[in-house]
Chains A and B, each alone.
Chain A
């Protein structure tokens, strides 16, 4: 492993380097998930409740984290926003991964024209940024939860397709696949029984990374007004609305921004940690 200084040599250092990122990432995300779930049953104040007399109060005065221009409690909005961001991200990634992996497995199994068409299709979708496809979708079905989900998922499908095709093709070259064919199994059965279980590693890593990206994209969409419409709380929109009050109430911008950053960081750390655990395990010692 690279970057080993005197502080991280030796047994304890080894353990720190190996488990550090994963543990930190898990902590952050568990915190996020916890807050999101709690927000379903309780928030300090109702997130949309406007108390104009308490508008633009700094943290620790009224609410724990202050209030916005309408007197809404920032902490409550962040909590509810956490649920929205997380649920949209989860749905989008589930949809994208579900479709992408199936297409990828098929392309790797049957190759030929199917594979070529699939890969070029991915190229086409990659050419369109998710923000743009969100705007186009928004024009058709109006802004909202499902627009965001579909827009983000559209971009996820080719990501997972590519990963799957790459990993699956490698598995297909291995002898145990030949052995399965010698046992009379067809491509469909082999894809399900042998290929998929052997590529879950890279797929799971990708899922965690894409979850982080999904949260970021959702925030971006909301920032542009293409995500959840008001009054549903959303980090992105909080960021957008905070622009005018940057001088007098900086916490209105810092806090949701921090929330997004920490969430993305958390998922990335998990993804990195998982990736490290999965690879050296296979390579073993010298």
Chain B
């Protein structure tokens, strides 16, 4: 059984609303694929492909029009709200813009500790502090970051803080939506290494969403290609990059700018 099973997800916006009829827009159309435990699964697509919409649905932050998400065989959207909240400890998210994903008014300690809210037994404050320090340590940040604010850090460091937050409940799955797109080249490498370290150390699976094929090729095991809300192709990195089956995939690969 796969860790994450995305089945027949369709998301349509608009249609009939309390204020009248709006033209319907299909962001996702019958999307299905699976992510295995401990794997890094790349999801590539251009703007408008629906990858961010899918990310939100996988995170149960948005309801699909039809279809369901199964985490370790359990249907997320059939769960009562309380149970879903507890389950959130197993899946967390990292966003594209490190500055926007951290509340500028919160200290790093409060930011990183936030997901602990889903735990049944809320840990004591000294335990919380220790967990935060540990999580920051995992991502290469020292404890003196605790009482500082996001704006005091660089883009790469903020993204590490975001990862520390995502990893504090030791989730089985992290959905990373363009986690390195806003970062400089040198910092990008650091964060990608971090992802690979987390997978090795804790067996965390990553759904790695990106429009940058070179990055996906560098760290992913499996790849799914999306376009206009539909899946174009799925397979291992070797399959998709070396032996692309679909014309669109070939088009994407051809559009890359090689060096030298």
List residues of A whose CB falls within 8 A of some B CB.
112-113, 116, 174-176, 178-185, 194, 197-198
> How many angstroms from the CA of A184 to the CA of B165 in the assembled complex?
13
* B117 pairs with A176, CB closer than 8 A: no
Among A112, A116, A176, A198, the residue within 8 A (CB) of B101 is A176
Question: Which B residues are CB-close (under 8 A) to A198?
Answer: 103-105
* Nearest-neighbor residue (CB-CB) of A179 within chain B: B101
> How many angstroms from the CA of A197 to the CA of B106 in the assembled complex?
10
Chain A nearest CB from B241 CB (Å) reads 30
Among A112, A178, A184, the residue within 8 A (CB) of B88 is A184
B59 within 8 A of A: yes
Chain B nearest CB from A184 CB (Å) reads 4
* Nearest-neighbor residue (CB-CB) of A116 within chain B: B19
* Nearest-neighbor residue (CB-CB) of B93 within chain A: A182
Chain A, interface SS category:
helix
Chain B nearest CB from A112 CB (Å) reads 7
B114 within 8 A of A: yes
Question: Which A residues are CB-close (under 8 A) to B205?
Answer: none
Q: Known A183-B88, A185-B117; judge A176-B103 contact (CB<8 A).
A: yes
> How many angstroms from the CA of A181 to the CA of B56 in the assembled complex?
11
B18 within 8 A of A: yes
B115 within 8 A of A: yes
Among B18, B59, B104, the residue within 8 A (CB) of A113 is B18
* Nearest-neighbor residue (CB-CB) of B114 within chain A: A183
* B105 pairs with A184, CB closer than 8 A: no
* A176 pairs with B59, CB closer than 8 A: no
B145 within 8 A of A: no
* Nearest-neighbor residue (CB-CB) of B92 within chain A: A182
- A-contacting residues, B104-152, CB 8 Å: 104-105, 114-118
Question: Which B residues are CB-close (under 8 A) to A174?
Answer: 100-101
B102 within 8 A of A: yes
Known A175-B100, A181-B61; further 6 A-B contacts with Cβ < 8 A = A116-B19, A178-B61, A179-B101, A179-B102, A185-B114, A198-B105
* B114 pairs with A180, CB closer than 8 A: yes
Q: Known A176-B100, A176-B102, A198-B104; judge A182-B18 contact (CB<8 A).
A: no
> How many angstroms from the CA of A113 to the CA of B61 in the assembled complex?
21
* B117 pairs with A197, CB closer than 8 A: no
* Nearest-neighbor residue (CB-CB) of B56 within chain A: A178
* A179 pairs with B93, CB closer than 8 A: yes
> How many angstroms from the CA of A113 to the CA of B18 in the assembled complex?
8
Find the residue from A112, A179, A194, A198 having the highest chain B CB count within 10 A: A179
* B103 pairs with A182, CB closer than 8 A: no
Q: Known A178-B61, A183-B114; judge A194-B103 contact (CB<8 A).
A: yes
Q: Known A178-B56, A178-B95; judge A183-B101 contact (CB<8 A).
A: no
B250 within 8 A of A: no
* A112 pairs with B59, CB closer than 8 A: no
Among B95, B114, B117, the residue within 8 A (CB) of A175 is B95
* B97 pairs with A175, CB closer than 8 A: yes
B243 within 8 A of A: no
- A-contacting residues, B12-56, CB 8 Å: 18-19, 56
Question: Which A residues are CB-close (under 8 A) to B103?
Answer: 176, 180, 194, 197-198
